[in-house]
Structure 1
Amino acid sequence: MQLSPSAHLDTFAREALPPADQWPTLEFTIPDVQYPERLNAAVELIDRTIDRFGADRDAIVLADGTTWSYGLLQHRANQFAQVLTEDLGLVPGNRVMLRMLNGPWTVACWLGALKAGMVVVTTMVAWRAQEVRGITERVRPRVAVVDHRGLTDAEEAFAGLPGAPIILVAGGHEDALLSACDAKDGVFTPVDTAADDVALLGATSGTTGVPKVTMHFHRDILANADTFAKHILHLTPDDVSASTAPLAFTFGLGGNVVFPLRTGGSMVLVERATPVELAKLIRPLGITVLYTAPTGYRTVIKEGLADELGRLRLGVAAGEHLTISTFEAVETASGLRLVNGIGSTEMLHVFISASGDDIRPGATGKAVPGYRAAVFDDDGRVLGAGEPGRLGVIGPTGCRYLDDERQQVYVHDGWNITGDTFVMDEDGYLTFHARNDSMIVTAGYNVGAPEVEEAVLAHPGVLECAVIGCDDPDRGTIVAAFVVPREGVEPTEELTASILETVKSRLAIYKCPRRVEYITALPRNPSGKVQHFILRERAALAAAAAETITQGA
């Protein structure tokens, strides 16, 4: 592995890359991802797009219809780059942390930092001080741009840290970010970064409870746009994109920022967008492409907004398993055939998908052009069609963790092993079976949690469901279902019996939940993924409490 000469004067990021023998194989098999040695992603996304389409077209649309043009976004990004280098004294390779909600200034700061050769670290405003402190200690940012509403947590997070970052407050009565940028002329010469200079450090969404920090190059930022967005979504300059995901997560960053800018389209930005809120904006703002989790589409239909979904050109579902029942419910209600996809923070965005006539309901899709996929057994042997195993992927992007021994868990023999169990058919279509950590072994049988979840969701009284394996003193491990009833449906013994009858009518008896617990909402991280580890912790505490009561008796 030979890296290009870096433009970074602060070499922290390059030195923190995993050892070369732990890297995944990287392949650039299609012309779209064959990039020059020198490449600055922000230059490509804003400057080159303006060269192609002009500066006057809308880049950002806000909920009230206010817009930022490409020219204004470019100007603000350049101003921020000037603030970093001229006022704050940063040099290429320094880390810049963004703790901001979805908004135009977030995009401007992100682009400006990349133009200046910095490494961007995006974090959730919803994270509390302890979570932010842990990431800060690892990535060592020089500057943190903080939304004024999250200032208290940021100050607590940084208190007492050696080399704590300079805080630049965004918004509020004393908007330091705006004041600093307004003092600049917006003329900036971008840093000539290498295509393989680290541009982003992204924390994983933490479904296991322990986030990892992924490392992405300038070329990686463009690669998912030039594969998934181009060959699967076929985005055009006329598309208006919107996503419920925060820009701190790569799903939101790609769909809401990188993909529109790469293709000359526009993005709708709402600070804390819900699926219903965005659905109500489809008509007035002309949204054509929506990105949200499958449960988001279910919620939109439940709220009587199916006709709004029918106005979309594309509905992209990712972040969790898209069940066939959800696919069919959305298509029946709105006529919209959801584009399924699987991606990961490690790979930056979606790498398995299908759209249009290539969609096969129930299947996730095929490897996106530029990527290839295989299914492996536990010993690393490639499995044949119809055999469930671990999904492995190779393409122009790949996993690189910052100083983390789990690098060797995700990458095996050059393959990115995603942590998902899939089945591939003879045509290369991949069907999701379970997360590797959601495969439940009970009474000697393997039970895929998503399969049980779909059966439970078939009951008309169930709004949402999550299934886990739960320790049981008599049976070892049992299948447990956490159920959110629909509005107006009471959680009774009769409801439980009815749900179990529905499951038994669809699945083998050993897959039927032995325990059903009702909750008001499933625990989710800000990207919409169900946090199964929280449910496991809850089940473990309940089991321990029951055992204590039994022993006391």
Structure 2
Amino acid sequence: MQLTPSAHVDTFTRDHLPPADQWPTLEFTLPELQYPEQLNAATALIDQPTARFGADRPALRTPDGVIWSYGQLLEHANQVARVLTEDHGIVPGNRVLLRGPNNPWIVAAWLGVLKAGAVVVTTMPLLRAPEIAKLIGLTKPSLAITDHRFADEMDTAATAAELPVLSYGSDAATDLVALAAAKPGTFENVATAADDVALLGPTSGTTGTPKVTMHFHRDVLANADTFARHLLEPTPDDVFAGSPPLAFTFGLGGLVVFPLYFGASALLTERAAPVELAERAAEAGATVLFTAPTAYRAIIKADRADLLSRLRLGVSAGEHLSQQTWEAVEEASGLRLVDGIGATEMLHVFISAAGDAIHPGAVGVPVPGYRATILDVDGNEAADGEPGRLAVIGPTGCRYLDDPRQANYVCNGWNVTGDTFLRDAEGYFVYQARSDNMIVSSGYNIGAPEVEAAIDQHEDVLENAVVARPDEERGSVVCAFIVLREGVTGDAAKRKEIQDFVKATIAPYKYPRDVRFVDELPRNPSGKLQHFRLRESLQTGQHSELAGAGQA
């Protein structure tokens, strides 16, 4: 592994790449993946498209009618880069943490950080202060940029780390928007190396410590030149819309990278229920929608299939898309959903199918530029029809920031995703289950141990265990088995109290929707908690008498 000379003055990310012998195999088999040694992703995403497609072409839209053209987005991104470098002393390689919902200014900030040669640290706006503090400790940012409406938790986390915070969207004279308005709208992008780190993307893990994925400037473009180019085939007339936050790489690709790279526009919706999202997308003339199977099911159940029938493409990822849901959407709307599996470690979708190549019930085949296989328990390639661990190789791959779990994800050069699949006789990959105790609910990845740790903080909880319970609407929901301290009654009021406590402790979407009070938890002779027995009990209905009262 030979890296090109870095443009980073702050060498933190280069210094904390995984050891060379733990890297996955990287392959650049397509002509469009042959990137120059010097590459700044922001140049390819806003400077070049503005020159190619015109400064007046719409780039970003909001439901309230705001439209930023490519020229305006370029100007604001340049101004942000100037604020970072001139007012805050950001140098290439520094990390800048971003926190905010999907709106134009978070995109301008994202591009501005890249232009300055710095590294974006993406965070979910719903994270609580302790969760943000963990990410600050791992990534060592020099500055945080936050939407002013989400500043409280950010300020709490940043104070302990003595991290400067810059807010945007308020009326303050020190607001990023005001500071940017005083700057010229030009900036000379830093000539970063194609293999300089551009993005640190945290992924919810199965322990309380997040894993932080490291992505190069070329990686940001590689997903556009594989999945987007070959399966979505975007045109400048497309309007992209979707529900995933930009802190998720699914949302970053679908709502920023893909539309900008191909001269299209994106509708940025801060928050909307599925039907409202579809209505807003229709009003904006959206042609491509990115969301989870949960949302597509909700739209169909609300008898609003007409909203989907207007789309050119509906992309489903973030959780398993069942054949029943796929068929229901097609029958009701005529839309043939493009299913896909991706990973934060790989940045975006690497197995999918579109159009006539879709096989309902199967996710698809490797996206051009990638190859995949199924590994058995010994790490050997399994025969067709045999379930095993999904493994993939392509132009992107797993690189964790200074994390021993790197060795668990990469096996003999393969990126092993933690999903159990099988490959059928036609070469299509069919999802079976998650291989670990990650809970995927409505497209959100939720680490069970993190929820357990939050529940344990409640004064009435003696111990608890969290697993995924299958759910028709959400794919899975967080199910908590809780042993209360002696003398405490496990009733509906206590259940709600614990749920509200968890919502106030960690991101609200992680709370246990299903709470079941039990006398004891299953353990093996050595005392190790047996989560698999709890999952089995959900399948056999052993705790069914509690299910009705336990769900919220």
TM-score scaled by structure 1?
Answer: 0.81
Distance 1:182 1:195 in 2: 31
2:167 to 162, 166, 169: 169
- Which residue is equivalent to 1:542? 518
- Which residue is equivalent to 1:369? 368
**After the TM superposition, which residues 33-432 of structure 1 pair with which residues of structure 2 at under 5 Å, given as runs?**
33-161=33-161, 164-174=162-172, 176-206=175-205, 210-432=209-431
Residues 55, 207 of structure 1: alpha-carbon distance in 2 compared, 3 angstrom cutoff: farther
Deviation per residue, 1:219-262 (Å, 9 max, x gap): 00000010000101111111100110111110100000000001
Alpha carbons 2:211, 2:400 under 8 Å: kept: yes
Distance 1:402 1:379 in 2: 27
Letter in 1 for 2:276: E
Distance 2:42 2:519 in 1: 52
Letter in 1 for 2:265: S
SS of the residue corresponding to residue 242 of structure 1 reads strand
Distance 2:358 2:508 in 1: 23
**How far has the Cα of 1:211 moved from its partner?**
2.3
Aligned alpha-carbon RMSD (Å) = 2.8
Distance 2:54 2:17 in 1: 38
Alpha carbons 2:267, 2:281 under 8 Å: kept: no
**How far has the Cα of 1:543 moved from its partner?**
5.1
Alpha carbons 1:323, 1:362 under 8 Å: kept: yes
Distance 2:64 2:25 in 1: 46
SS of the residue corresponding to residue 330 of structure 2 reads helix
Alpha carbons 1:207, 1:530 under 8 Å: kept: no
Distance 2:522 2:480 in 1: 13
Alpha carbons 2:213, 2:345 under 8 Å: kept: yes
SS of the residue corresponding to residue 159 of structure 1 reads helix
SS of the residue corresponding to residue 152 of structure 2 reads helix
Alpha carbons 2:363, 2:431 under 8 Å: kept: yes
Distance 2:277 2:428 in 1: 31
Q: How many residues get paired?
A: 477
Deviation per residue, 1:489-517 (Å, 9 max, x gap): xxxxxxxxxxxxxxxxxxxxxxxxxxxxx
Distance 1:170 1:470 in 2: 38
Structure 1: gaps of 5 or more residues: 441-448, 458-462, 473-519, 548-553
SS of the residue corresponding to residue 230 of structure 1 reads helix
Residues 93, 438 of structure 1: alpha-carbon distance in 2 compared, 3 angstrom cutoff: closer
Deviation per residue, 1:404-437 (Å, 9 max, x gap): 1110111111100000011102322100011112
Distance 2:155 2:226 in 1: 40
Deviation per residue, 1:67-99 (Å, 9 max, x gap): 000000000000010111111111100011111
SS of the residue corresponding to residue 416 of structure 1 reads strand
Alpha carbons 2:158, 2:164 under 8 Å: kept: no
For the pair 1:466 / 2:448, whether they are aligned, the reply is no
Alpha carbons 1:438, 1:468 under 8 Å: kept: no
Distance 2:437 2:291 in 1: 22
- Which residue is equivalent to 1:443? none
- Which residue is equivalent to 2:29? 29
TM-score scaled by structure 2?
Answer: 0.82
Residues 276, 208 of structure 1: alpha-carbon distance in 2 compared, 3 angstrom cutoff: farther
For the pair 1:437 / 2:447, whether they are aligned, the reply is no
Identity of aligned residues (%): 58
- Which residue is equivalent to 1:13? 13
Letter in 1 for 2:520: A
SS of the residue corresponding to residue 46 of structure 1 reads helix
Distance 1:413 1:362 in 2: 29
Letter in 1 for 2:240: S
Alpha carbons 2:319, 2:475 under 8 Å: kept: no
Deviation per residue, 1:34-80 (Å, 9 max, x gap): 11100000001111111211111000011022200000000000001
Alpha carbons 2:134, 2:209 under 8 Å: kept: no
Deviation per residue, 1:276-296 (Å, 9 max, x gap): 222012332100000111011
Distance 2:166 2:102 in 1: 17
Alpha carbons 1:239, 1:289 under 8 Å: kept: yes
Distance 2:474 2:91 in 1: 48
Residues 168, 122 of structure 1: alpha-carbon distance in 2 compared, 3 angstrom cutoff: same
**How far has the Cα of 1:535 moved from its partner?**
7.4
